[in-house]
Amino acid sequence: MKIRFPKDGKFGQFGGKYIPETLVPAVQELEEAYLKFKDDKNFTKELDYYLREYAGRPTPLYFAKNLTEKVGGAKIYLKREDLLHGGAHKINNTLGQALLAKKMKKKRIIAETGAGQHGVATAMACSCLGLRSEVYMGYKDTQRQRLNVFRMKILGSMVHPVMSGTQTLKDAINEAIRDWITNVETTYYLLGSAVGPHPYPVMVRDFQSVIGKEIAQQMKGLGKKSPDSLVACVGGGSNAIGTFYPLLETGVEMFGVEAGGEGLDTDHHSATLNAGKKGVLHGMMTYLLQDEEGQIRDTHSIAAGLDYPGVGPEHSYLKDSKRVKYGSASDQDAVNAFLMLAKHEGIIPALESAHAVAYAIKIAKTRPKSEIIVVTLSGRGDKDVEVVENYLNQNVKNKK
């Protein structure tokens, strides 16, 4: 079940390296560098230092007592990745990859971003480590996440709005890959989720696995070997795979939550694992949202970070092997959970994380009070307050 470093880059039939010849040397160089440094004591020690002293790890495992009492049923705990520097789990991966890029003597870093959190985390890590960064972001996302765009610029990163396609995360990745092909010798592509050609899904998972490792350790402090259930949102799937991977060989029940948008019976969602078919995109074989002719479908989510037509290949493997259950939460579910957590716990979650909170609430109602559900709160919701306000105002207008 647990695949540490697949030699062929495959999780079962998923993953691989579906890349143009021009990128083969760069991907090979990356794989060799990662294999060299991932277990290197000095590299690990340096990364641990930055995660602790710069990013703010370990993050708390917080008992959401008020929310639990309001919902009834199982106890809900929140893994507070929202408290990290930058406001999201993304910094775990950007520090790891930026440090690796520095060891590889790359001076220019490019990245893609959807909600902007990965872009901000890339800009922070590069600023901290003395590297130059440029970020590709779909134009539509730059409009709904203007605050994060400005944050990236303040942090010294150049932001490239992408006007092609749906002007969202998929198109930002396309442009970043084009840049990488053109500047492959001098540039490091710092991919933000557990997607893309091997070794990216493995690297990102490993850098994010600090989440699940801490959960396991913190549960011991509560007198339990592990939680009864883990819940995390899934777009590309980095926070979820980082939560799940260290505990895959335990009996913990695991739930990945995709963006149900306006409903899975509509074309306005991003629930790839629930409604997708197998195919190849961005260098990997995985589940994708496709039309009848195999073309990539437009996606929709109120959460910019979940608005992606694919998913990390390890999640596709975990779905088919039935180790992890994948559900969805609608835009309305996410907004309701966003407001509920803010009102009862004084915590404003990212809309991405709110999908996981919504699903955890649903599960908790059906479970005994003795059980513990841990939700990875992957980010904070400052960036989404205006989005939620607009959503609520639009709903009021529609009802009139």
Query: Looking at the annotation, which residues are catalytic?
Result: 90, 112, 378
Sequence letter at residue 374: V
130: alpha, beta or left? (left if phi > 0; alpha if psi -120 to 50): left
Tokens of 146: 């203007």
Q: Side-chain half-sphere of 262: how many Cα atoms within 13 Å?
A: 6
Long-range contacts, stretch 185-189, CB < 8 angstroms, 24+ apart: 186/106, 186/107, 186/108, 187/106, 187/108, 187/109, 187/110, 188/97, 188/101, 188/104, 188/106, 188/108, 188/109, 188/110, 189/26, 189/109, 189/110, 189/111
Please name the helix (run of DSSP H) or strand (run of DSSP E) that holds residue 276, with its range, or none: none
Contacts (Cβ under 8 Å, ≥6 apart) of 353:
82, 233, 375, 376, 377, 378, 379, 381
DSSP output for 345-391? HS--B-HHHHHHHHHHHHHHTTS-TT-EEEEEE-BBSGGGHHHHHHH
CA atoms of 326 and 268, how far apart (whole Å): 18
